[in-house]
Amino acid sequence: MVNVQRTFPLFRLPTLAYENVIDILDLKEKFDLSATSKKSSFVVKRYNRIKKHNLVIFLRCDNNPARIYVYIDRGNKSHVCNCNSWVFDLGDANNVIVDPTITQITHIASVAPTASLRLQFGEMPLERAFIPLAQRLNLTLKSVEKYFIGDGPDDELCRWVFENCRHAQRLIYHFENSIGFTMEPETMGSYSFEVLDISEANWVTGIHLTHCFTNCKNVEFMSANLTDQEMNDYLKHWIEEGSKNQKFFITDNRPFFERADIFVGITYVSYPYVHDKTLDKIAKPGFVIKNTEGLEAVVHLTDDSFHLTTDFEIVDENFRDEDSSDDEYFDDDEEEVSDDDEEENSDDDEEEDFDEED
C-alpha cells in the first residue's frame, strides 16, 4: 500500500485562521509559500499589506560571495534575527548573473510591494542593471553604495549615478574620477538625500553646496578642493536660506582652511569645549551659529577638515567620554565674536567616524 502524505487545506480555513498560520512561519517560509500558487501569493501579499512590515531587499555585490539579504527592518540591525531574514548566495561577486537575480528580486517585490531596495556594488559594473529596477518595481530605493578604488576613473559612471539615483534615500559613492572632471550644477538640479557620501569630491564647488546639496540631511565629502570663500558662502547660505544640512563634513580638503577667512561677515559664539555628538568628539573650541529659523549648529575645523552639525552640546573641561578625542583644534577664549576678531591656529586632524549599516 502506498502511503500518501496528506496536505493541509490552508485556504479552506477562515481568513483569520490562515493568517494566524502564516504568522507562525518564518520569513523565508512565507515567501516559499507564496511561490506555490497564485492564491498563496495573494494571501501572503495580503498578509504583508496588513502587517505593514518594513521589508528590505539588500543586494550586496562588493565582496564574495555576492548575496541577496531579505529582512524585516525593525531598526538597529534587526535583520540578523533568523526568523526575520534569509540570505541567497549568488556566487562570485565578479560573475553575478543578472537575469536570475532580477527574477528573484521581482518575485519578492510582487509579494511585498512596499519593500525597499538596498544596492551595494563593488568592482563589477552592475549599477545600470539594478538601479532602474527600483522604479520599474515601484520600490523605495533605500540606498545605493558603490565601493571600488584602484581600477581607474569612470567619469560617465559618476554622471549616470547622479542622474539615476535622485530618488534614492542614501547615496554613497566611493569611486575615482579623472583630474579635471566636472558636473555642471545647473544641469544637476537639487537633491534631497538622507545621506550623501563622496570619497573623490574634487569636482564639488561652492555652487554645488548651495544649489545641489542644500536639501540633503547628512553630507560628507573627502578629497575636496573647496576654498575659504566657498565655505564662507556656504555658511551664509546655511544661516540665511534655510539649508536642510544637519551634518556637513569635508575632510582631506586642499588647500587648508583658514578660520578667519571662513567666518568673515558671520556672527557666532565661541565655546572652549563642545561635544560633537555626531562624531562623538570634543571640539576645542566649537563655534555656534544660528540660522534665521533659530536652528543652531556647531562648526569646528582642522587644517584640512570642516565639520558642521546640529547635534551637539556645550560642555566643560571636565567632560569625558570613552570615545571622545583629546585632539585640539584651536585655543580661543572669546565669548562672542564677529568677523574680524579672529585667531588663526590649528592643530591635529580629526579621525572620520561615519558608520554604515551592514
Q: Where does a domain end: 120, 147, 164?
A: 120
Amino acid symbol at 80: V
In a domain, 18, yes or no: yes
Pairwise pLDDT comparison (73 vs 277), residue with the higher score: 277
Q: Which residues contact 7 (CB under 8 A, 6 or more apart)?
A: none
φ/ψ of residue 267, rounded to 5? -90, 135
Q: Average of pLDDT values for 220-232?
A: 95
The closest alpha carbon to 237, from 300, 173, 297, belongs to: 297
Tell whether omega for the bond before 100 is within 30 degrees of 0, i.e. cis. Answer: no
Pairwise pLDDT comparison (345 vs 162), residue with the higher score: 162
Residues forming a β-bridge with 175: 148
The pLDDT, as a whole number, for residue 11 is: 57
Min mean pLDDT across 11-20, 47-56, 338-347 is at: 338-347
Pairwise pLDDT comparison (282 vs 322), residue with the higher score: 282
> What is the three-class DSSP state of 29?
helix
Residue 102's domain comprises: 9-120
Residues in the chain, overall count: 358
Write out the three cell numbers for 76: 538597529
DSSP 8-state code for residue 292: T
79: pLDDT strictly greater than 50: no
Confidence of residue 314 (pLDDT cuts 50, 70, 90): very high
Q: Average of pLDDT values for 301-329?
A: 77
Strands (DSSP E) found in the chain:
55-61, 66-72, 85-91, 116-121, 140-148, 170-175, 195-198, 218-222, 247-251, 268-271, 274-276, 281-283, 286-290, 296-302, 305-309, 312-314, 336-337
345: pLDDT strictly greater than 50: no
Residues forming a β-bridge with 170: 143, 195
The pLDDT, as a whole number, for residue 2 is: 47
338: pLDDT strictly greater than 90: no
The pLDDT, as a whole number, for residue 14 is: 63
315: pLDDT strictly greater than 80: yes
In a domain, 182, yes or no: no
78: pLDDT strictly greater than 50: no
Residue matched to cell numbers 578629497: 223
In a domain, 357, yes or no: no
Q: Where does a domain end: 86, 120, 154?
A: 120
The pLDDT, as a whole number, for residue 58 is: 95
Tell me how far apart the alpha carbons of residues 197 and 213 are, in angstroms, rounded to a whole number.
11
Amino acid symbol at 296: E
* Percent of residues, the chain, with pLDDT higher than 90: 56
In a domain, 162, yes or no: no
H or E element at residue 309: strand 305-309
Ranked by mean pLDDT, the top range of 33-37, 63-67, 169-173 is 169-173
Min mean pLDDT across 134-138, 204-208, 340-344, 347-351 is at: 347-351
Q: Where does a domain end: 66, 98, 120?
A: 120
φ/ψ of residue 54, rounded to 5? -90, 80
Q: What is the mean pLDDT of the chain?
A: 83
Residue 122: CB atoms within 10 A of its CB come to: 17
Confidence of residue 4 (pLDDT cuts 50, 70, 90): low
Contact, 255 vs 223, CB < 8 A?
no
In a domain, 169, yes or no: no
Q: Which residues contact 26 (CB under 8 A, 6 or more apart)?
A: 82, 83, 84, 86
230, 346: one domain:
yes
Contact, 238 vs 297, CB < 8 A?
yes
Confidence of residue 331 (pLDDT cuts 50, 70, 90): very low
Q: Tell me how many domains the chain contains.
A: 2
Q: How far, CA to CA in Å, does 196 sit from each of 219, 232, 351? A: 5, 21, 19
116, 231: one domain:
no
The pLDDT, as a whole number, for residue 12 is: 62
Q: Average of pLDDT values for 215-239?
A: 96
Pairwise pLDDT comparison (181 vs 40), residue with the higher score: 181
Pairing of strands 195-198, 218-222: parallel
In a domain, 180, yes or no: no
In a domain, 198, yes or no: no
pLDDT tens, residue by residue, 177-220? 998 999 999 999 999 999 999 999 999 999 999 999 999 999 99
Confidence of residue 324 (pLDDT cuts 50, 70, 90): very low
In a domain, 15, yes or no: yes
Pairing of strands 268-271, 296-302: unpaired
The pLDDT, as a whole number, for residue 96 is: 86
Give the N- to C-terminal CA distance of the chain in Å, as an integer. 53
H or E element at residue 9: none
Q: Average of pLDDT values for 25-40?
A: 86
Q: Which residues contact 255 (CB under 8 A, 6 or more apart)?
A: 225, 227
The pLDDT, as a whole number, for residue 254 is: 84
The pLDDT, as a whole number, for residue 16 is: 66
336: pLDDT strictly greater than 70: no
335: pLDDT strictly greater than 70: no
Write out the three cell numbers for 111: 509579494
pLDDT tens, residue by residue, 57-68? 999 998 889 999
